[in-house]
Structure 1
Amino acid sequence: MYVNVPRAGAVTLEDADNFRAFEVRVAGEQQSGSALAARLGAAAARVDDGHAWVNDAWLRAQGAPRGEAWLADFGKMIGFARKQGWVDESTQAVRAHVEWNGGAR
């Protein structure tokens, strides 16, 4: 799954049934962490060192319409991420690598 950050418009969760991958894909040229954080808005707790820390609550809200099975599978993904040290317990955010795409999305 990935968080899609278009040049304009709403940030969305895409490929939401892929629980084996997680990243943030950003349309446009690379920007500072503060600029990306502003574009992500409520989706991210913070941005640092090529990673965005995506709010668990935002992710769950995006996937919730898919039902209880999705939430259970998502919980397993977060459990794995926690074991890897990719969950910030203080902010309840999950680390995602940021991919920049200079083209339009």
Structure 2
Amino acid sequence: MHLDHSATGGTLADVDNFRELDARIPRSTPPADVQDWLDGLGATRDGEHVWVPVGALSRMGRPSDPKWISQFDKMIAYADGAGWVRTDGDTKLVRAHVVEP
């Protein structure tokens, strides 16, 4: 999955790829625009990673498809086992590597 930043907001691309998760942020994007986008998602940046609310990713995918949700939950469980999931209050966050598209 690829969380793509754009001038109009963001989208979740390649939603059936449960083997990778990254945040594609063009290097030319002004930092304030990136921060606004992250704030809108409830996400935070930590160096070369973005911590994204699991619920936000799920809503951007196929939340009404039980098979998709099952695969998504397995992906998050794998990420949790690898140490790529944390909790902030009541919000579960998953780590996505920042890449330039």
Normalized against structure 1, the TM-score is what? Answer: 0.81
Instruction: Tell me the percent identity.
Output: 34
3-state SS, counterpart of residue 16 of structure 1: coil
Shift, 1:3, TM fit: 0.1
Counterpart in 2 of 1:14? 13
Deviation larger for 40-49 or 84-93: 40-49
What does residue 48 of structure 1 align with?
Answer: 46
Give 1:64 shift. 3.0
Aligned length: 99
Name whichever of 89-98 and 67-76 sits farther off: 89-98
Q: Which runs of 5+ in 2 are unaligned?
A: none
TM-score (norm 2): 0.84
Q: What is the alpha-carbon distance in structure 1 between the residues aligned to residue 4 and residue 79 of structure 2?
A: 20
**Which runs of no fewer than 5 residues in structure 1 stay unpaired?**
none
One-letter identity of the residue aligned with 2:40: A
RMSD: 2.0
Q: In the aligned structure 2, how far is the partner of 1:60 from the partner of 1:93?
A: 12
